[in-house]
Amino acid sequence: MVTTLDDRLFGQQEKRFGVRGKNQRYHMPLLPGEQGVKSGGDWVPGGVQSMTNLAGAIEDTRALGVWEQALALVGIAISPELHEELVLLVQAAASEGVIFRKLREYPEFRNALCGKPFDKEQTSILARAKLAAGASVAAQLGTNRHTAWEHRGATGELIGTSEIQAQVIDTERLLADAGLERVQGLSERVVRNTVVDAAGRFDDILLETRTGRLLIGDLKTKAGEFYSMLTIDAQLAGYAYAEHMLWFSEPHDRYCDGPRRLGVDLTEGVVLHVPSDGAPAMLRRADLVMGWHALKTAREIVNLRSYSKSVKRFNESAWIPQN
């Protein structure tokens, strides 16, 4: 999810419908017939998984993990204060009998090193080391471009540095040359896809003026080539196939027809690639047929992972000799 300009200026409200909470799940209203929380609340218990996180479940992320580890090592090397803090932490833990190869058994020490899951504050040594090495620079540059694009669609105004404004204008030119227009009122909308049980915020629905087709569009800001198109295809397919969309105005507590019911094309989408390093923008094609297959497979994988860690599965793991 891209943080909106209002959120950045005035702060996010965790319990607003259509916003991701600290657990990275969307706070969403109930659909007709759905069961709420026991206290009688009108929201989906536990939230709805993010489309981005679900799509990422099928991708090979080993290269990303290695990159993050390398950045953390660089950050510790160039930050004497982090190195000192790490040495003190490790030595204190050792004196208390912490067995480092059994890190999972020491959550307080582990969290100080690596952070809690979905820790937005990023206070752990690992998070601060990656920050020192510049890990968040590209992400922030990307967020800046998303903010400018969203503001342009909502108000018609150009904001940002001259470089950002030039990229926005260049992207609009690419769309115009391809015969594509942003549909007013169908930008930055939160959708819910019940088939794969996920929610997310798409950037645009585009009108192909020559054919009248509606196409799902999403802005991506990765510098350079994508490592893979699989996650992108899956994410856009999840948006296009979504049956429900939150109402356009606050408090977003009800649904209207989503992209699928609006007749959005289910075979291809448009990726607006606006590199965060200032390189020229380009349009790419998303394969929604492959993406939908990948997203449904990702849901199966996530469900299997969840079941494999469940109490039920562990209770069934005891070997019972057959008579």
3-7, 35-39, 137-141: range with highest mean pLDDT? 137-141
Q: Which residues contact 86 (CB under 8 A, 6 or more apart)?
A: 76, 125
Residue 72 scores a pLDDT above 60? yes
What percentage of the chain has pLDDT greater than the value 90? 65
What CA–CA distance (Å, rounded) separates 84 from 105? 24
CA 109 to chain centre: 28
What percent helix, strand, coil does the chain show, rounded to 5?
A: 45, 20, 35
Q: 162: pLDDT confidence band, cut at 50, 70 and 90?
A: very high
Residue 178 scores a pLDDT above 80? yes
pLDDT at 8: 45
Which tokens go with 80? 């004497």
At 68, the amino acid letter reads E
Interval 15-61: pLDDT, tens: 799 999 888 899 999 999 898 887 778 899 999 999 999 999 888 77
What CA–CA distance (Å, rounded) separates 253 from 27? 10
pLDDT at 4: 46
Residue 102 scores a pLDDT above 60? yes
Does residue 218 or residue 114 have the better pLDDT? 218
Residue 245 scores a pLDDT above 70? yes
Q: 314: pLDDT confidence band, cut at 50, 70 and 90?
A: very high
Mean pLDDT is lowest, of 116-130, 146-160, 222-236, for: 116-130
Mean pLDDT is lowest, of 6-20, 159-173, 187-201, for: 6-20
What is the average pLDDT across 194-219? Answer: 97
SS3 of residue 50 by DSSP: strand
Query: The whole model's pTM is what?
Result: 0.84
At 100, the amino acid letter reads F
Q: 135: pLDDT confidence band, cut at 50, 70 and 90?
A: confident
pLDDT at 157: 95
Pick from 232, 290, 249: nearest CA to 266: 290
Interval 200-211: pLDDT, tens: 999 999 999 999
pLDDT at 38: 79
Q: 120: pLDDT confidence band, cut at 50, 70 and 90?
A: low
pLDDT at 224: 83
pLDDT at 217: 97
User: Are 63 and 211 in contact, with CB atoms under 8 Å apart?
Assistant: no
